[in-house]
Structure 1
Amino acid sequence: MTRAMQPITIATKVAILGIVSALLLAFIPGQAIAAPPATVHLTIHYQRAAGDYDTWNLWLWKNLITGTDGAISPAAGSEFTGNDAFGKVFTADITGMDAFDNIGIIVRKGNWLKKDIEVDRFITQFESSGNTEIWLVQGDPVIYPAQPTSKKEIRSAQVDDFRTITVSLSQKMVLAGTATEGFTLTPALPITAVKALNGGADGATQLALTLGADTTLGADYTLDQSDYGSAKVSAGKIVESSGFNEKFVYTGDDLGNTYSATETAFRVWAPTASAVSLLTYATATTASADAKVTPMTASTKGTWVAKLSGDQNGTIYDYRVTLGSTVNDAVDPYVRATTVNGLHGVVVNLAKTNPVKWVAKKPTFSGKSTDAVIYELHIRDLSIDSSSGVPANHQGKYLALTDVNTALSDKTKTGVAAIKDLGVTHVELQPVFDFASVNETSPSFNWGYDPQNYNVPEGSYSSNPSNPTARITELKTGIQSLHDQGLRVMMDVVYNHVYDAAAFSEEKIVPGYFFRKNEDGSLMSNSGCGNDVASERPMVRKFIVDSVKYWAKEYNVDGFRFDLMGLMDITTMNAIRAAVDKIDKTILIIGEGWNTSGLPEEVRGSQKNIGKLVGIAAFNDEIRDAIKGSVFNGTDTGYATGKAAAKASVETGIIGNVFYSRDYIGTWTTVDPTQSVNYVEAHDNLTLYDKLLGSVPDVSASTIAQLDRLAASIAILAQGVPFMQAGQEFLRSKDGDSNSYQSTDAVNSLKWNLRSTNAATVSYYKGLIALRKAHPVFRFSTTPQVQKNLTFLTTSNNVIAYSLKGSAVKDSWGTVVVAHNPNATAVTLTLPAKGDWKIVVQGSVAGVKAISTLKKANTVSIPPQSTLVLEK
């Protein structure tokens, strides 16, 4: 998923399950129709109890249940257009609605700083006239078809410290100056003071209650007030307090189930529970009421333990957690196998899941990230199209990774054979952990950025998702196959959010701990997905580090790509690096360092803090957008498509965003080029081919291919870590779909016949990769190497040219010149020295062998819209 923060890309769809709730549907009076008319005359009223409307706005879209949504709101959101006695008002005419199912709506603060409520809402009923008017109230998920009558109520109450309860009210309360202000707590604890947290003389909607004694974790408290009614008290910031951490941070390595042939031990961290039981099931479909219940015993640091004797391999189990009057059944967060669709945990003897030829040895790799060439691949995309040549029973499955000799009828390689032939070093698999957005019994396409069970492989890619071990063995088999082909394997991991916060196992076991919250108690959603994982909390950090270690050890994974790394804290990211170094120092870690987070800026795992992240690289959106144009505007051009103003940013990317001189200061600065992931295409946004079609629409197919090669060559030859999406090398298209996360296979699948159609471009990519791998002059790993051995040359007509000193890194080539010409005509370049220069990249040809030699030359002509590489 994400991607350079496009909140609509996931938020609009992840929460679509909310449609099933009648509370979230708008039923418009009058002659209501289910299908929207061509034009909807929309009026939205919105009320906040405290009248604090500053920077609150709307995010609206034309929604399709299946397919690509249409935009309503601009990138900055839709501002309210007026006011009335109720609150803020928004009016607009929405055209073209007859091509869509309904209207999606999010009330948000600023640019996704927070959402009013966690779930997205959808207007699904419309008057035949097109007039549609609704009312929304802060913190209330109901879409009202008429103005609601406001009533006094306690919106939320949460324990923020052992002696503090924070209260949110629907209407302002004027404090009388009494100790309790009419509040009582059950079970009884004395209330000694009430303090207003907002408002003024006319009252407050946010209050802090001070208690005269400590609250008890696991107790079921109810808060009452004579005028505002009652509300259950939930765990709030108490789980963030130093006192909580001192009492309940567990450091052992036995959370989850620990299997042996003679017994299996279970340990779960549930410090706020009053009781925990182990549930075991006869079958995957056994009802929870029929489960065998084994009480667990309270142990150290908030953990609970139990043991089952005998060989429990295959035992299906969950935990039952009692939290006051609430009882939750939850999957073990540390579970390593599950039943179909991840509904129950399963004990597994992992030694029996290893494939026959499973070996720990990996393809040789230096561990230096600039020596890598990363290829982003979706398991289903690889083989679901018939052109893949993969057997039908392997199509869309892990086992397609074992089909290593597939080809088209003209002998053009496909699938894994094609990837190996291209010459990349690392295959990065888009999410293969268990995600919730696909029914494993009837698989369909989804990117998979919707975590459900972090330590379990996704079952829809398995030949038998009902067999808990099949997915494990088959993923291992696929990884081993890639290793056998000389390809290292990376995992795309999503520890920044989950699919459904309320249903997530950790939230059921320790409510309020796993996710960040806003001051009003609502979930933060800087991910745009309804929740942000609180990686900074010790037991969340431990869970993430333990999970990464598990994949690295058990599955021989060679690297990790962290989705929305900017939402992770620096301490956690560095702890991950330290942990994997103890397993294999050559493991790569890269991530999306977008600076969008609920954390203080100085602790975010962002581009701006890359200097604090040791041995970790971040995606370089500066060079990406400079080369091809902004990903947020399909028609925007970049350097490769004629935008002269982008030249400086491209040059900054070419040096890996290191500090080179005051003339080359980027939007962020790396410690060294190993921290810059250079790319022009990834699964997010338009493919490079589609971007070129949209930004330079009136050119020939051959020119599009030419521009593609120019754009790709800039990124691949730049100092840093080259990265590409599968199929980029053969001009992959997604039919202009910039957000194909749940689009059809027809949109997403790799059409391997294009590898034959666009063979010249494939050969060009292959040549660039071979050139980079053969010559360390393209792979500087320190800033001094870049500063001393890369020199930008004086050019004209917006050409970028630079020389590289090969002797500094013991390259067989003494001097290399790279020149990029975005012009539609040839441009003459003055070379840094007169001599015999061998051309190795020119026009549509790239590689390590000389195409031609210039004798005693001090100038060279750079062909139009292309890259030229020479050496002497």
Structure 2
Amino acid sequence: MKKLAPRFVALFALAVLFASGLPAVSSAATPAVVKLTVHYQRADSEYTGWNLWLWKNVTTGTDVDVNKAGVAFTESDDYGKIARLDIDGMDKFENIGIIVRKGEWVAKDVSADRFITKFKEDGTAEIWLRQNDPVIHYEKPTGAVQEAAGSKLAKLYDSADFAAKYTYTGSDLGNTYSKDKTKFRVWAPTATKVDLVTYANADASAANGSLTAMTASVNGTWIAEMAGDKNGLIYNYRVTVSGTTNEAVDPYVRATTINGVRGVVVDLDKTDPVGWSTKKPAFSGKPTDAIIYELHVRDLSMDASSGIPAVHKGKYSAFTQLNTTFNGIKTGVSAIKDLGVTHVELLPIFDYASVDESSPTFNWGYDPMNYNVPEGSYSSDPKNPTARITELKAAIQSMHNQGLRVNMDVVYNHVYTASNFSQELIVPGYWFRTDESGNLTNGSGCGNDVASERPMVRKFIVDSVKYWASEYNLDGFRFDLMGLMDIQTINEVSAELKKIDPTIIIIGEGWDMGTLPAELRANQKNISKLNNVAHFNDQIRDGLKGSVFTPADPGWATGKLTARSDVTAGIVGNTEYSIDMAAKWITQSPAQSVNYVESHDNLALADKITASVKGVSPAGIAQLSHFATSVAFLAQGVPFMQAGQEFLRSKNGDENSYKSSDEVNSLKWSTKARNAATTKYFQGLIALRKAHPAFRMSTTAAVKANLKFIPTTNDVIVYTLNGKAVKDPANLIVVIHNPNPGVTSVSLPNKGKWSVLVKGSIAGTKAIETLSTNKVSVAGQTTMVLTQ
């Protein structure tokens, strides 16, 4: 086996040298028009997707982009690729900024911005650029292109030798507490020295920390042990790599000081609230039996109309307040229970970095800091390391007591700031993906992508979800940007969670987002390789309401009848239903399709309808909301909704409210009072779905055998469900969705007596009316459901 340690020192030294910037050279005068020629050379001669981003640069004033789409290389020579262009108006600017990028910022060749500062008297400028070389050459350089230090380091981390020598499989990373002693183990294979640093209190300076030398142990881990009862001990690690010492929070820590800056040892048995129980609400474990309600912790209680006392507003404790009302209308957890959903999915509740816990403001929380610690801004006392743990457990227990299961939104695909993340400080370069130039990849759009495919990153992710599922008695997980993660990691997560609780459900965003080889991505295209995992179905979402990226674009439910095929694909859960079904991605079963028309991302449905339907009235918004939601909720798959959708929640047109005010984001329970009919419609749809297994088939075979579309000529969607075959109370169910603005007549498959369960603005399990006919009239942009 190769000895790896000596190579680390050299590689880290190279990385530091490579990262050092070079000063820009000023030019005496800039010509009005610059005729620019750029030569670019890559060691691998692979130029596909690479282009130039240029801007006219000025120290004081506003820079101007040269081309919003980037500048392509159009010629070749023995050096490499060539781009030529004229840039006018340069006499008002000092120099030209230049970046070599791949595609739309998938990668950059060298991370620093560079500037062209030398121009000839005739206005021409010719430069030569080389892969991984930060220097702009004004004469053709000689010598071979060098591989970036960061790229070399990544290859070393990805090597079989490194994995064999430094993959630790034990279950004791972090601190292991007992009354007699506490053990510490941290994975730091590149370190030459690691100290355990402890503090007398949270405010103690770093200089006043007490150091305990840790001992190198197996597989790159370091260990230490402290005798006595260390419950409440404040600690960090100081790790020395290549002569540089960083202090970092224990990545596996389960409690921290305020704002997550130092770890804390806790006796978890003492954090259980009164009445804590591992018993959960009854649930079959079949994802198609779930109805998921997405909710932000602050949104539940911040508005004055929540009826929740001020001391609990924006806190975990708001979930323990029951029987709250506004003008006699149920609010809070009691309202969610009354709606009939099965699972409450909480936006990130782990410790995130974008909010000061001492002065909380709103943020969605997709900014991970300490993965195994609850967010402190939702606690009654963020300075108390255990308060947030106990209060979150109490919130979960309260929902369990009301028959509501609880899912957690997790964000393992990126972190808030890569350079300050604990794992990066402890093992530089291991936690994140880099491109061939050694720069961090950015498929997430957040500045970094977590390298889930590396063994110790994978282990951390699996260990983390196991901890949350076990310690907090959680019932499911939603993976943010799952498509950025690798298939093996997600399958290991699924397998381990099912060992803890077979009824746990796992969903995620399966968008196709670069930075991994296509065959390894845990995305929609590869869902056949994922076990017991569902993805959000953007095909039925956009089919029903229009593109989420174009506010004015309508969908099939709001007037764009050409989107019909996207809707029918979603109705069968994007299963391999038939060769005529235009599914953009294929599930293995309807249990893999999360059907929805609203989530925290993009416009709320009511706002989308307002933006895409000209002159729509308040009554029209309600009707179209009923219509679009009914299609998604009755489709085969896993129905999902955003909190407040049941009473026409609006964010005043804010399509990205991740850090907007509580005024924008909070649930306005007073709106529920005004839109009681919509809430009742949602309750009816949910009750109908729960009462009829025909809407909840769990296999592709069952869907193909028992769901049959009836051909129509006017864009109406009509299908039947064979209830008898799936032990439904109804022998036959007919579902009719009429997208036309006017009434349409539909022939029923059988004569005889029909019970109408959904019609117009009414839905439920009791017959609205009974008909003896083989033809019905369905109002425009409404759903009708009949049973026989």
Which category describes the TM-score, using the shorter chain as reference length? 0.7 to 0.9
* Pairing partner for 2:700 from 777, 783, 798: 783
Distance in structure 1 (CA, Å) of the matches to 2:368 and 2:86 = 35
CA contact (8 A) 1:683 1:725 kept: yes
1:193-272 to structure 2, matched below 5 A, reads: 203-207=143-147, 235-272=153-190
Query: Counterpart of 2:378?
Result: 461
Distance in structure 1 (CA, Å) of the matches to 2:532 and 2:210 = 47
1:537-548 to structure 2, matched below 5 A, reads: 537-548=454-465
Distance in structure 2 (CA, Å) of the matches to 1:408 and 1:335 = 41
Residue 110 in structure 1 maps to residue 103 in structure 2: yes
Aligned-residue CA RMSD (Å): 3.4
Aligned residues: 737
Counterpart of 1:792 in 2: which secondary structure?
A: strand
Distance in structure 2 (CA, Å) of the matches to 1:845 and 1:44 = 68
Query: Counterpart of 1:603?
Result: 520
Kindly state the Cα deviation for residue 739 of structure 1 after the two structures are TM-superposed.
Answer: 0.7
Distance in structure 2 (CA, Å) of the matches to 1:843 and 1:46 = 66
1:483-502 to structure 2, matched below 5 A, reads: 483-502=400-419
Residue 170 in structure 1 maps to residue 135 in structure 2: yes
**Percent identity at matched positions?**
58
1:560-571 to structure 2, matched below 5 A, reads: 560-571=477-488
CA contact (8 A) 1:169 1:205 kept: no
Kindly state the Cα deviation for residue 399 of structure 1 after the two structures are TM-superposed.
Answer: 0.6
* Pairing partner for 1:304 from 215, 222, 225: 222
Query: Counterpart of 2:51?
Result: 56
CA contact (8 A) 1:56 1:110 kept: yes
Query: Counterpart of 2:557?
Result: 640
CA contact (8 A) 2:742 2:780 kept: yes
CA contact (8 A) 1:280 1:318 kept: yes
Residues 473 and 642 of structure 1: is their aligned pair in 2 closer, same or farther, counting only changes over 3 Å?
same
* Pairing partner for 1:365 from 266, 283, 286: 283
Kindly state the Cα deviation for residue 45 of structure 1 after the two structures are TM-superposed.
Answer: 9.8
Kindly state the Cα deviation for residue 343 of structure 1 after the two structures are TM-superposed.
Answer: 0.3
* Pairing partner for 1:477 from 374, 385, 394: 394
Counterpart of 2:230 in 1: which secondary structure?
A: coil
Q: Which runs of 5+ in 1 are unaligned?
A: 1-22, 31-40, 61-71, 94-103, 117-137, 157-167, 175-199, 209-230
Distance in structure 2 (CA, Å) of the matches to 1:682 and 1:826 = 31
Residues 861 and 108 of structure 1: is their aligned pair in 2 closer, same or farther, counting only changes over 3 Å?
farther
Q: TM-score, normalised by structure 1?
A: 0.80
Query: Counterpart of 2:495?
Result: 578
Distance in structure 1 (CA, Å) of the matches to 2:425 and 2:39 = 30
Residues 54 and 837 of structure 1: is their aligned pair in 2 closer, same or farther, counting only changes over 3 Å?
closer
Output one character per residue of 1:767-804: Cα deviation in whole Å (capped at 9) or x when no partner: 00000001101000011110010000122311001000
Kindly state the Cα deviation for residue 381 of structure 1 after the two structures are TM-superposed.
Answer: 1.0
Residues 289 and 651 of structure 1: is their aligned pair in 2 closer, same or farther, counting only changes over 3 Å?
same
Kindly state the Cα deviation for residue 861 of structure 1 after the two structures are TM-superposed.
Answer: 0.6
* Pairing partner for 2:688 from 765, 771, 775: 771
1:251 partner amino acid? T
Distance in structure 2 (CA, Å) of the matches to 1:88 and 1:296 = 58
Output one character per residue of 1:387-420: Cα deviation in whole Å (capped at 9) or x when no partner: 11111011011111111211112x1111111111
Query: Counterpart of 2:78?
Result: none
* Pairing partner for 2:339 from 414, 422, 433: 422
Query: Counterpart of 1:742?
Result: 659
Query: Counterpart of 2:245?
Result: 327
2:779 partner amino acid? P
1:835 partner amino acid? G
Query: Counterpart of 1:703?
Result: 620
Query: Counterpart of 1:721?
Result: 638
Residues 233 and 812 of structure 1: is their aligned pair in 2 closer, same or farther, counting only changes over 3 Å?
closer
Kindly state the Cα deviation for residue 201 of structure 1 after the two structures are TM-superposed.
Answer: 9.4
Output one character per residue of 1:614-662: Cα deviation in whole Å (capped at 9) or x when no partner: 1100000000000000111001111001212111110010000111111
1:524 partner amino acid? T
Output one character per residue of 1:643-699: Cα deviation in whole Å (capped at 9) or x when no partner: 121111100100001111111130000001000000000111111111100100212
Distance in structure 2 (CA, Å) of the matches to 1:619 and 1:507 = 31
Residue 862 in structure 1 maps to residue 778 in structure 2: yes
Distance in structure 2 (CA, Å) of the matches to 1:44 and 1:573 = 51
Distance in structure 1 (CA, Å) of the matches to 2:138 and 2:35 = 27
CA contact (8 A) 1:80 1:90 kept: no
Query: Counterpart of 2:207?
Result: 289
Residues 640 and 317 of structure 1: is their aligned pair in 2 closer, same or farther, counting only changes over 3 Å?
same
Kindly state the Cα deviation for residue 584 of structure 1 after the two structures are TM-superposed.
Answer: 0.1
Counterpart of 2:754 in 1: which secondary structure?
A: strand
Query: Counterpart of 1:809?
Result: 726
Counterpart of 2:145 in 1: which secondary structure?
A: strand
Query: Counterpart of 1:337?
Result: 255
Residue 512 in structure 1 maps to residue 429 in structure 2: yes
CA contact (8 A) 2:128 2:138 kept: no
CA contact (8 A) 1:82 1:89 kept: no
Q: Which runs of 5+ in 2 are unaligned?
A: 1-20, 56-63, 75-80, 90-96
Query: Counterpart of 2:18?
Result: none
CA contact (8 A) 1:807 1:814 kept: yes
Distance in structure 2 (CA, Å) of the matches to 1:366 and 1:801 = 29
Residue 349 in structure 1 maps to residue 267 in structure 2: yes
Query: Counterpart of 1:160?
Result: none
* Pairing partner for 2:112 from 122, 131, 140: 140
Residue 524 in structure 1 maps to residue 441 in structure 2: yes
Kindly state the Cα deviation for residue 206 of structure 1 after the two structures are TM-superposed.
Answer: 2.9
Residues 201 and 279 of structure 1: is their aligned pair in 2 closer, same or farther, counting only changes over 3 Å?
closer
Kindly state the Cα deviation for residue 235 of structure 1 after the two structures are TM-superposed.
Answer: 3.5
Query: Counterpart of 1:78?
Result: 69
Query: Counterpart of 2:530?
Result: 613
1:639-678 to structure 2, matched below 5 A, reads: 639-678=556-595
Distance in structure 1 (CA, Å) of the matches to 2:365 and 2:599 = 15
Counterpart of 2:236 in 1: which secondary structure?
A: strand
CA contact (8 A) 2:236 2:247 kept: yes
Distance in structure 1 (CA, Å) of the matches to 2:39 and 2:292 = 48
Output one character per residue of 1:340-384: Cα deviation in whole Å (capped at 9) or x when no partner: 110010001000011011000000000000000000000011111
Query: Counterpart of 2:93?
Result: none
CA contact (8 A) 1:50 1:204 kept: no
